[in-house]
Amino acid sequence: MNSIFTEEKPEILIQEDGTRIDGRKPDEMRPISIEVGVLRKANGSAYLEWGGNRVLAAVYGPREVHPRHLALPDRALIRCRYNMAPFSTEERKRPGPDRRSIELSKVIREALLPAVFVERFPNTSIDIFVEILRSDAGTRIAGITAASLALADAGIPLRGLVSGCTVGKVGDWLVLDVGHEEDMWGDADIPLAMIMETKEITLLQSDGTLTPEEFREALDLAIKGCTYVYELQKEALRRPYIAVEKEVKGEE
Amino acid sequence: MGLEEKISSTLLKEHLLKLAQAGKRKDGRKFDEMRPIEVKEGTFTKGLGEAWVSLGKTQVLTSLKFDVGEPYPDTPDKGVLISNVELLPLASPSFEPGPPDENAIEMARVVDRAFRGSDAIDLSKLVVEEGKLVYILFLDLYVLDYDGNLFDALTLSSLITFTRARIPLVKMGEDGSPKLVEGENFPLPLVDYPLSFSFVKIGEYLMLDPNLEEESVADAALTLAIDKDLNICSVQKRNGTFKLSEINKAVDIARAKYPEVIEQVKKVVDIA
Amino acid sequence: MKKSASSKAEFFVKDRELVLPGQALAKGSLKPDKGVYVDEEGVVRSYMVGLVEISNERVGVIPLRGGYVPKAGDLVIARIEKMSQRIIFADINSYCKAIMIVPRPEPRRGGRRHSLLAKYEALAPGDVVLAKIMSYDGVSNPLLSIKGEGLGKLVGGSLIMIEPSKVPRALGKRQSMLQVLKQKAKCDIIIAQNGIVWINSNDPKVIGAIEKALRKIERESHLSGLTERIGQLLDSLLGRKS
């Protein structure tokens, strides 16, 4: 019964002049919009739209660890759950963790952990939740970008924000911010995330064949993308305070 | 946040009781008043219909997906509706990751019952080939932010999702396998518009649409679903006990509230 | 970039500017205060969203977000959870539970000791108390005590939760903001360090007004002139002229 959901490979993924299937130039990113503090119960949260992605990230913590025996005596335990909603994909995805989401949960945790001052909260846990409500390629990077803001929103001490981006290889071109079709049928996919202020790379994966030159070029391009994402993250954190200031000034 | 969750405080209970004795609620609402309802604008899922709804500070997101498959053996001429509730751990410090627990399962079944009890969805119109192939609809109910009364929020969100849903047309191909008819779809066959009304009892006072604080000190809880003809299409008593007079009072309040709430829904979606 | 006249410190931000995690604040011979860290190159950076405080050669960040971190000497409002004969566990709205040790009855003393013991014996799970943190080493549970005037079980009234990072603003310099709240509400109000506020009132109008005022303090804590605006808000909500 899955025949009704099969996708067909598009005839042309990228044109000779580098125009991509969604009309973007090779170094053009999809639209991103971010809102911090969208949930009330969570200690910190962020909602992010990136192309067709819709991502909700939330943080609880530091808080008591349950079960107790997992607590670390000298630092906070960082736990992360990446989950795709059943309605996030074309064909409904059965609820619950699968192998992919388990790997991504680990990879996202390892992308965020270096940014957190875990030594400040021994015997506690900091729980990060990334829910993909709608999936459109680059969900782990979108999740990290949102989760980083959720951590800041929760007031958890951070070395800096973690920003991410993907680079792909489609035909002869390296493209920034891989789209859905490029993800399905392109030649390589490289997600990268880093703490921009300290220039430390905290997530790097690659899938596909690249020459060493292509790889280096791809990393440079990804870092350019991360720099752009970082500016958007900072603006999102500042926005509510600036809005309140405008409001108050308007009243006076 | 710790204090309103799992264990309520006696101070809170005494306070809410004192207020109730004076005919008041902590947030200023009347006993039969619902919190503000907000439907978020935008597209948030890949569903055939969806709704992100706030009831006060409670936020839920529901979305409808579909597949085609064999009907249940005892209903070869009807499509299938499967409802699933996820109490996401991000919605509350008291929700843990994992498969649905008894609360999530009860919630899914009660929401489903509101629509089944009122025959709101004409499942006989969701058949591709009788006995062989029917539409299977998946209603996924995501709880995002828990501040009380998930039953009503989820039922409302499901109703809006159903009114917005367009089902892609599937025909049986010549080779016996289902084929999607490109570009053609039809509205979900929705013939009734049930709404849910949940009450808690604090002392002897019945309150509609409890927030989290009220739920945490309540002695008893009851949910009723009302259809467009103001008939009762489902009932679920949860914890505690009710006198017969209290149940009848709840029914009266729910039936009186239905027109008010359905008017609000009509502002957001097209309902006959 | 401002260079301090007397030393070699360079500042990249102005006093009271909104800063973000990782943001470079200053470099040079400075005393880092709370809310900041020093990186490998000697740059002082914020570790949270907050307002930077620059004074002489000190630079720190006042957090605008974050939970309650227990500190010895803090006044907290706690909810009793578990009780055994000698030890009581309480929720203090933080990442760890607090404990109270029930004092042993000493036959010789009587008097004050007896009334202190009575305070403890009156407690039951679910009760809410005003207590003081006697000690906290950052690892084991903070130790609470209800010995002292005004400490002990809270009876009646209502609780409101506020963001712990906003408590200093809700109290104000020398409790100036708290005084405004109490004067306008015409009842007793206690704002505990762990973000819990107790209002000794059963009037929903008063409680509603104070809650609105507290939410406004939370939203505008990064701006000046707040005390006056809160006074005006309460006057308009409680129907009085200032």
Strands C87-91 and C128-135: unpaired
Average pLDDT per 10 consecutive residues for chain B, totaling 272 residues:
54 93 93 96 97 98 97 96 97 94 96 96 96 97 97 98 97 90 95 97 97 94 97 95 97 98 91 68
Nearest CA in chain A to B134: A1
Q: What is the largest CA-CA distance in chain B?
A: 71
* CB nearest C95 (choices: A61, A117, A238): A61
Phi, psi of C198 (to 5 degrees): -110, 125
Distance, CA of A190 to CA of A206 (rounded, Å) = 5
Task: Please tell me what DSSP assigns to residue C108.
Answer: T
Specify the pLDDT at position B4.
38
Count of structural domains within chain A: 1
CA–CA dist C170, A153 (Å, integer): 20
Distances (CA, A) of B160 to A199, B194, B264, C136: 47, 11, 11, 52
Amino acid making up residue C82: K
**Residue that has been written with the tokens 């005022």 in this structure:** C213
pLDDT, average across residues A216-226: 97
pLDDT score, position B168: 96
Give me the residue label for tokens 């993308």: A225
- Would an 8 Å CB–CB cutoff place A124 in contact with chain B? no
**Sign of torsion over alpha carbons B126, B131, B136, B137:** positive
- A91 reaches B (C-beta below 8 A): yes
pLDDT tens digits, one per residue of A133-149: 999 999 999 999 999 99
**Could you report the per-residue pLDDT of A227-249, keeping only the tens digit for each?**
999 999 999 999 999 999 999 98
Nearest to B220 by CA among B235, B234, B207, B233: B207
Q: CA-to-CA distance for A95 and B10, rounded, in angstroms?
A: 38
Beta-bridged to residue A54, according to DSSP, are A49, A134
The answer to whether A57 and A128 have CB atoms below 8 angstroms apart is: yes
Is A218 a member of any domain? yes
A16: distance to nearest CA of chain B, Å? Answer: 30
What does the alpha-carbon distance between residue C112 and residue C109 come to, in Å, rounded to a whole number? 8
Q: Is A86 on the interface with B (CB under 8 A)?
A: yes
Does a structural domain hold residue A21?
A: no
Is A13 inside a domain boundary? no
Q: Kindly report the CATH number assigned to the domain that includes residue A155.
A: 3.30.230.70
Domains of chain B with bracketed CATH: 10-268 (3.30.230.70)
How far A31 CA lies from chain B's nearest CA (Å)?
Answer: 15
| Chains near B (3 or more Cβ pairs under 8 Å) | A, C
pLDDT at C240 (0 to 100): 66
Within 8 A of C67 by CB-CB distance, chain A residues are 43, 62, 154-155
Distance from CA of A121 to the nearest CA of C (A): 8
The three-state secondary structure class of C46 is: strand
**Which pLDDT score, from 0 to 100, does residue A88 have?**
98
In this structure, are residues B159 and B105 in contact, taking their beta carbons and an 8 Å threshold? no
Q: Residue A199: which domain range?
A: 27-251
Percent of chain A having pLDDT more than 90? 95
Q: Are strands C143-145 and C98-101 parallel, antiparallel or unpaired?
A: parallel
What is the ipTM for the molecules in this complex? 0.94
Hey, are the CB atoms on B26 and C124 less than 8 Å from each other?
Answer: no
Nearest CA to A46 among A125, A163, A138, A195?
A163
Three-state secondary structure readout of chain B: CCCCCCCCCHHHHHHHHHHHHCCCCCCCCCCCCCCCEEECCCCCCCCCEEEEEEECCEEEEEEEEEEEECCCCCCCCCCEEEEEEEECHHHCCCCCCCCCCHHHHHHHHHHHHHHHHCCCECHHHCEEECCCEEEEEEEEEEEEECCCCHHHHHHHHHHHHHHHCEEEEEEECCCCCEEEEEEEEEECCECCCCEEEEEEEECCEEEECCCHHHHHHCCEEEEEEECCCCCEEEEEECCCCCCHHHHHHHHHHHHHHHHHHHHHHHHHCCCC
C-beta atoms surrounding C101 within 10 Å: 13
Chain B residues in contact with C194 (beta carbon < 8 A): none
Instruction: Tell me if A5 is assigned to some domain.
Output: no
A211 within a domain of the structure (yes/no) = yes
B180/chain A closest Cα distance in angstroms: 6
Contact yes or no for C155 and B3 at CB 8 A: no
Is residue A147 within 8 Å of A128, Cβ to Cβ? yes
Nearest CA to B218 out of B197, B199, B231 is that of B199
Instruction: Please give the backbone phi and psi of residue C70, each rounded to the nearest 5 degrees, phi first.
Output: -60, 145
Ramachandran bin of B127, using left for φ above 0, alpha for ψ from -120 to 50, beta for the remaining angles? beta
Q: Is residue A236 part of a domain?
A: yes
A113 has a pLDDT exceeding 60: yes
Query: In chain C, what are the domains?
Result: 2-63 (2.40.50.100), 75-153 (2.40.50.140), 158-237 (3.30.1370.10)
User: How many cross-chain Cβ pairs, A to B, lie less than 8 Å apart?
Assistant: 96
Question: In which residue ranges of chain C is pLDDT below 50?
Answer: 242
Q: C208 and B28: CB-CB below 8 Å?
A: yes
Report H helices in C122-203.
Answer: 167-171, 176-185
Distance, CA of A50 to CA of A36 (rounded, Å): 14
> Which of C65, C81, C89, C91 should we substitute to test contact with A (largest number of A Cβ atoms within 10 Å)?
C65
The pLDDT of residue C204 = 86
DSSP A125: E
Identify whether A201 is part of a domain. Answer: yes
Which chain B residues have a beta carbon less than 8 Å from that of C127?
Answer: 9-11
Residue A14 inside a domain? The answer is: no
